[in-house]
Structure 1
Amino acid sequence: MAAFPGTFAFDEYGRPFIILRDQDKQKRLTGNDAIKSHILAAKQIANTLRTSLGPKGLDKIMVSPDGEVTATNDGATILKLMDVDHEIGKLMVQLSQSQDDEIGDGTTGVVVLAGALLEQAENLLDRGIHPIRIADGFELAAQCAVKHLESIAEPFKFSPDNKEPLIRVALTTLGSKIVNKCHRQMAEIAVDAILTVADLEQKDVNFELIKIEQKVGGRMEDSALIKGVVVDKTMSHAQMPKVLRNVKLAILTCPFEPPKPKTKHKLDVTSAEDYKALRAYEQEKFTEMVQQVKNAGATLAICQWGFDDEANHLLLQHDLPAVRWVGGPEIELIAIATGGRIVPRFEELTSEKLGKAGLVRELAFGTAKDKMLVIEECQNSKAVTILLRGGNQMVVAEAKRSIHDALCAVRSLIRDSRIVYGGGAAEISCSLAVAKEADQLSTLEQYAFRAFSVALENIPLALAENSGLQPIETLSELKARQVNESKPSLGVDCMLTGNSDMKDHHVVESLHSKKQQIILATQLVKMILKIDDVRSSADRM
């Protein structure tokens, strides 16, 4: 085999191997230099998100390659939309996504904490401490912090009759979001949705039963929780009734159309008589399908596929309202809510497979009269839909992200009904506990413990900074008061009310969420500290 000059090199056995392109532009970093390179990339990501932390945090405007604009302060969304090239930067994105998948809230805080830990790790590296010792020390410090969190956590009592405690948690989550214009309304919607679908005995919440529907137009105050299913469709014919009561639904995944030949044969229409015969056959089949649905006792047909004007006209003639082009996930949710069965063939449709709903109605929105179909008073009342309204797509999209965070925060409390106090109070208390534990250690890990303690203080520092307070003075005062008054509920007064006791403000967070932030951030930092070899483009470093 002839080799192209400069393309292949050969080893001592004559086997060719490919030389990497741009090898002269590559440089290899090893040891502490590589770790510091990783830390620098991670710190840049964390510093970007730091200003978005807390109720006074700033929003970010993200512009996609095709010009789509997103304004948000949700950490997971910001990182997902950022164009990150560095491998460690991508790990930070995954860290935020992990927090979002596991908890749904705290996506900004976990990245800020990881960045603070890496900053402290860099200082320890400069002092000559081995990265493995730093990583092991951080892990032990994280265990100490989590143990302390459990000791200061308080039981959280609520019931379906007493929703106010859950509403306060949702208010805390929504405090930094765009929806604080209708703060309490959104919190009540989130709590009602969770309690409707929750199994309080099993401490489980099925998120699949909650659908969030967005509709641009109107005010955000027009948002509502509908105990049923909302479908972004209308009746297939303009003359079909807009309100139906005591409805029996036929949920079909088969189209209203004549059967097609499943062989390679074709049908040639060569004369007017042939065309008339074909039309009569089609009409007969359409009528037969409509009659099968009517015979089963259905008063509304929900069809996954479309049907042509002739079938639509026949449905109107036979007084059978219908909805077409309903998507697969919506079909499944309708089946769950109404207790019906999804029917793939007309021949299989029976009265036992019909779903039942007390009310089906069309809603019209705004000056454009956009219409949606609402299926309410269903047999299985657990399926709910949150209908979000807003002046433009950007506001509605941010409202959806906000309500998702609130839903996740309330779900965490259903699973583990213990709380800690927000406003950086839990982090300050953990910082004091870890620093105290460091004084009891005689090994090298005491330096990692103290560094971990300082890193935890970054959360209240960022909250104070974003609220226009003096960060160092505020933190020093809170630490002294927590020690002197033995009150782990003292945090940063972000709303400038003159009271730093988060218990009085009802600013509470799920214990599970706070523990997960510390654990995930520590795991990522451990991983980064153990990567000591990297090859990358010189101009990117």
Structure 2
Amino acid sequence: MTHLNFIPVYSIFKILSTSLGPKGLDKVIVNIEESTLFTQNENYNQNFDINDLIITNDGATIMKNLPIKHPLGIILKQLSNSIDVQVGDGTTSGVILACKLLEESEKLLIKNYHPNLIIKSYQIAYDQCKKILNLNCIELNIPSIFIYNEKEFNNAENNDIKILKQIISTSLSSKILSNYIEQFTKFCFQAVSYIQDPSSTLIFNNIQNNIKYNKILGNNIASTKLIRGIIIKLRLDNINIMELNNSSFNSNNSVNNNFKTMLINFDIGFIDENTLKLIKYNNLNFNKIEMIENEKKQLEIKQATDFISNLKNQNKEDEPIIIFSSKRISLSCLKLFKDNNIKIIYNLSDEEILNIQKVTFSPIVINTITSTIHSSYFGTCKINQTIEKQSEFYLEILNDQSNVCTFLLKAPSVFIIEEIQRSLNDSISILSLIIENKKIISGGGSNELQLSSGLEKFIKSNEFNQLVVDESKQDIFKIMNCIKSFARALQIIPILLINNAGFDSLVLFEHLKIIHKEQISKDYNYTSINLNSGKISNMLELGVIESLKGKETILKMIIDTVSMIIKIDQMIK
């Protein structure tokens, strides 16, 4: 029986293996085809584009940017992307485990084990892994609707909140934010609380759509902030309008009173021929260009005046109004809005308008300016204008009821900013999965040791014998060997974690295997190596914790990916 060449798989394993864990090393990824970094030109430094260079130890980022062309590598790249999208963390360990399982599978294929038998055995192993994980998991008493409470967060009298804080603190301590743990742990709690829909207990699915990032190069990491709403960068024309048109806006970052908001998707002050015919201005003389222009200008002003009048009629509370438009506003109409103390931001992108809609709950008005305005067209928000580096103006659009939040990331380097975003995304993903499912397991390689030890015991148990009672003796022997291979593959995670921390894995790993094999008490199931001290420790006490659902999802995706690959016996070009 023929099978594929797994050399590309081993190459990916070699690249990722040194990046696993909190002590993992960084990779520098350069786009050689587009970058000038390796050019023979002596002045290459002047032409170097910073976007061609990536420095990271994040598995998802490494896999995404690797120039992979081999089909097996592309499949593993898709696995990495799936883990990143569905779980948010654990990409490096997931791909490494898949590579190791493929290595073990190749050994079985060389011995003429049929792929279908291997796949069947791996499925048995996966089912048993789920049982072991559920047996050793801990369920937290967390409310389904998670609400951030400043007092509860600071005092942490609730033991479960303490555990959650420790989980995020441990996650951040292994990343670039290790010196800002308290600040960014608080940000993670706030973000999860903000993005959760009160009508649903699901949080994880909202991360991608409801958490936004604005990046400012300069200042320090501690200047990063989180708001409940969105931040838009003002263009030069809007900056001037805001300064002229809004005496209540100022640069001292103070939040103003509530604004009524309206989102429009039509021009104001730009009249086309169809509009002229619709409104039927019979006194227009089309033979005289000057008269036409004057009439059009008067018509523009009349339209804007009618629009402003309609706005004021519906604004019975006399609250300040701000309009966000994705279209143009003529200069003459801008002056009218200014005179009537109506703030307006125009020429916004479609994405910005949609994000503002999520915050203000305003419908987007797409009909013409002559239509009647209803009170239902209005939303609400708070506005805060900030100035960065004396040249960049940002508008914060805030709403305490919004499910959208925005991080304003600041750091002295582009690479640091990108790493901060990845760190926050990983930590928020972990927190949201745990709050959703409430069940946690120990991390740091301890659960892989649990599973490996549990599978070795399983193949000697009566449960296994009953499961394979209808199989031939030869197939039973092969299934046992396949499950042993699965158990050996799991051991690669704690081995690499120990190696990457600079300790001797040969001695420490064997010691851990004995502890998990003997299982003197349930607490020993949670033991692994403290990667800071090199001592055997309880991972739950250290806060090295994973989501049960996340682990099950990753294992299932690994099994499916490996099963698909080992069933391929020929590649046709």
Shorter chain as normaliser: what TM range?
Answer: 0.7 to 0.9
Alignment-mate amino acid for residue 376 of structure 1: L
| Distance in structure 1 (CA, Å) of the matches to 2:335 and 2:418 | 38
Identity %: 25
| Distance in structure 2 (CA, Å) of the matches to 1:77 and 1:281 | 55
| Distance in structure 2 (CA, Å) of the matches to 1:269 and 1:125 | 87
Partner of 2:373: 349
Partner of 2:360: 338
Q: Using a 3 Å threshold, how does the CA distance of structure 1 residues 199 and 275 change in structure 2: closer, same or farther? A: closer
Alignment-mate amino acid for residue 312 of structure 1: L
Give the Å deviation of 1:83. 1.0
In the alignment of these two chains, the number of paired residues is 500
Q: Using a 3 Å threshold, how does the CA distance of structure 1 residues 271 and 483 change in structure 2: closer, same or farther? A: closer
Unmatched segments (≥5 aa) in structure 1:
1-30, 537-541
Q: Using a 3 Å threshold, how does the CA distance of structure 1 residues 307 and 86 change in structure 2: closer, same or farther? A: same
Q: Is the 8 A contact 2:8 2:70 kept in 1?
A: yes
- The SS at the match of 1:254 is coil
Give the Å deviation of 1:302. 1.2
Q: Using a 3 Å threshold, how does the CA distance of structure 1 residues 320 and 274 change in structure 2: closer, same or farther? A: same
1:402-452 CA-to-partner distances (Å, cap 9, x unmatched) read 211222111211221111111100001100001112334643100011111
Partner of 2:189: 191
- The SS at the match of 2:297 is helix
Give the Å deviation of 1:271. 4.4
1:286-322 CA-to-partner distances (Å, cap 9, x unmatched) read 3333443344326111112232433333322222111
2:444 aligned with 1:423: yes
| Distance in structure 2 (CA, Å) of the matches to 1:217 and 1:308 | 36
Alignment-mate amino acid for residue 13 of structure 2: A
Alignment-mate amino acid for residue 273 of structure 2: P
1:64-92 CA-to-partner distances (Å, cap 9, x unmatched) read 34332222222122111111110010000
Give the Å deviation of 1:268. 6.6
| Distance in structure 2 (CA, Å) of the matches to 1:101 and 1:502 | 26
2:269 aligned with 1:257: yes
| Distance in structure 2 (CA, Å) of the matches to 1:179 and 1:480 | 35
Partner of 1:414: 435
- The SS at the match of 2:89 is coil
Q: Using a 3 Å threshold, how does the CA distance of structure 1 residues 201 and 291 change in structure 2: closer, same or farther? A: closer
| Distance in structure 2 (CA, Å) of the matches to 1:398 and 1:443 | 48
Matches within 5 A, 1:427-442: 427-440=448-461, 442=476
| Distance in structure 1 (CA, Å) of the matches to 2:295 and 2:434 | 66
| Distance in structure 2 (CA, Å) of the matches to 1:330 and 1:278 | 31
Alignment-mate amino acid for residue 453 of structure 2: L
Higher helix proportion, which one? 2
Q: Is the 8 A contact 1:256 1:289 kept in 2?
A: no
Q: Using a 3 Å threshold, how does the CA distance of structure 1 residues 497 and 47 change in structure 2: closer, same or farther? A: closer
Equivalent in 302, 308, 322 of residue 284 of structure 1: 302
Q: Is the 8 A contact 1:423 1:460 kept in 2?
A: yes
Partner of 2:471: none
Q: Is the 8 A contact 2:359 2:399 kept in 1?
A: no
C-alpha RMSD of the superposition: 2.6
Q: Is the 8 A contact 1:490 1:501 kept in 2?
A: yes
Give the Å deviation of 1:256. 1.9
User: With structure 1 as the length reference, what TM-score do the two structures score?
Assistant: 0.86
1:492-536 CA-to-partner distances (Å, cap 9, x unmatched) read 221226352212211111011111221111111111110001135
Range with bigger deviation, 273-282 or 488-497? 273-282
Unmatched segments (≥5 aa) in structure 2:
36-51, 153-157, 251-255, 278-284, 465-475
Partner of 2:180: 182
Q: Using a 3 Å threshold, how does the CA distance of structure 1 residues 88 and 231 change in structure 2: closer, same or farther? A: same
- The SS at the match of 2:441 is strand
2:363 aligned with 1:362: no
- The SS at the match of 2:428 is helix
Q: Using a 3 Å threshold, how does the CA distance of structure 1 residues 275 and 170 change in structure 2: closer, same or farther? A: same
Alignment-mate amino acid for residue 415 of structure 2: M
Matches within 5 A, 1:125-140: 125-140=109-124
2:565 aligned with 1:528: yes
2:34 aligned with 1:66: yes
| Distance in structure 2 (CA, Å) of the matches to 1:165 and 1:327 | 42
Matches within 5 A, 1:133-532: 133-159=117-143, 160=147, 161=152, 162=158, 163-199=161-197, 202-205=200-203, 206-207=206-207, 208-233=209-234, 235=239, 237=241, 238-241=243-246, 242=249, 244-262=256-274, 270-297=288-315, 299-345=321-367, 346=369, 347-357=371-381, 359-365=382-388, 367-378=389-400, 380-440=401-461, 442-484=476-518, 485-486=520-521, 487-496=524-533, 498-532=535-569
Give the Å deviation of 1:62. 1.9
Q: Using a 3 Å threshold, how does the CA distance of structure 1 residues 83 and 268 change in structure 2: closer, same or farther? A: farther
Range with bigger deviation, 299-308 or 232-241? 232-241
Q: Is the 8 A contact 1:294 1:320 kept in 2?
A: no
- 4+ runs deviating over 6 angstroms: none
Q: Is the 8 A contact 2:266 2:328 kept in 1?
A: no
| Distance in structure 2 (CA, Å) of the matches to 1:227 and 1:399 | 19
- The SS at the match of 1:204 is coil
Alignment-mate amino acid for residue 307 of structure 2: M
Give the Å deviation of 1:264. 13
